[in-house]
Amino acid sequence: MFQLDMKSNKSVYEQVIDNIKELVMTGVLPEGSKLPSVRELSRQLTINPNTVQKAFKELERDGFIYTVSGRGTFVAKREDISADESRVKEALAKIVYDFRGLTYLGLDATDAKARVISALDKEIERIAPDTKEEFHDKR
C-alpha cells in the first residue's frame, strides 16, 4: 500500500494518516474500497496496532473513512470529507511561516513566491495532473 520513512521528522502515526489521505484524495483508494484491518496493516508496516488504530480513528473523525461493525473499514465519499475551517487556517499559517523562512534564507519575496508556486505546480502535477491548468486559471 505505502512505505513509511523511519528517518522522517514525522511520526509513524502522522505518516500513516498522510499516506491514506493521499491515496483517498488521488483516487488510488476509491470510494467504498475496503482498507486492510488494523492488525493486517500493522503487520504489513511492521508497526504497533495501536498506532494504526489511532490513525484510523483520526481518519474516521475527519470523514476519510468509516467503519461498519463486523465488516471492516471503508473509504468514504469525497463529499463526506470535512474541510474544518480551523485546520485550513492552521495549514495556511504553516505555509506563510515556511514562506517567511525562505525570505530568511536570503530570497527576496518575489523569488520566494516564484519558487513556492513552482513547487506547488510540481505537487499538483504529481497528485492531480488533470487539474493543473484549473489551478493556474484561479491565480
Q: Is the pLDDT of residue 26 over 90?
A: no
Answer for the pair 26, 128: CB distance below 8 angstroms, yes or no. Answer: yes
Average pLDDT of span 99-105: 95
Hey, what's the cell of 13? 502515526
Average pLDDT over residues 124-138: 66
pTM: 0.72
pLDDT of residue 108: 95
Question: What pLDDT score was predicted for residue 41?
Answer: 95
Among 116, 25, 119, CA closest to 75: 25
Residue 35 has pLDDT above 90, yes or no: yes
Tell whether the model's pLDDT for residue 132 goes beyond 70: no
The grid coordinates of residue 60 equal: 474516521
Nearest to 24 by CA among 132, 119, 122, 128: 128
Topology, domain 12-80: Arc Repressor Mutant, subunit A (1.10.10)
- Report the chain's mean pLDDT, rounded to a whole number: 89
Report the SS3 class of residue 10.
coil
What is the C-alpha to C-alpha distance for residues 78 and 103, in angstroms, rounded to an integer? 36
Helix or strand holding residue 139 (H, E): none
Name the nearest CA neighbour of 109 among 122, 96, 94, 119: 96
Would you place residue 45 in the very low, low, confident or very high pLDDT band (cuts 50, 70, 90)?
very high
Whether the pLDDT of residue 102 is over 90: the answer is yes
> Exposure of 60 by Cβ count < 10 A (0-12 exposed, 13-18 middle, 19+ buried)?
middle
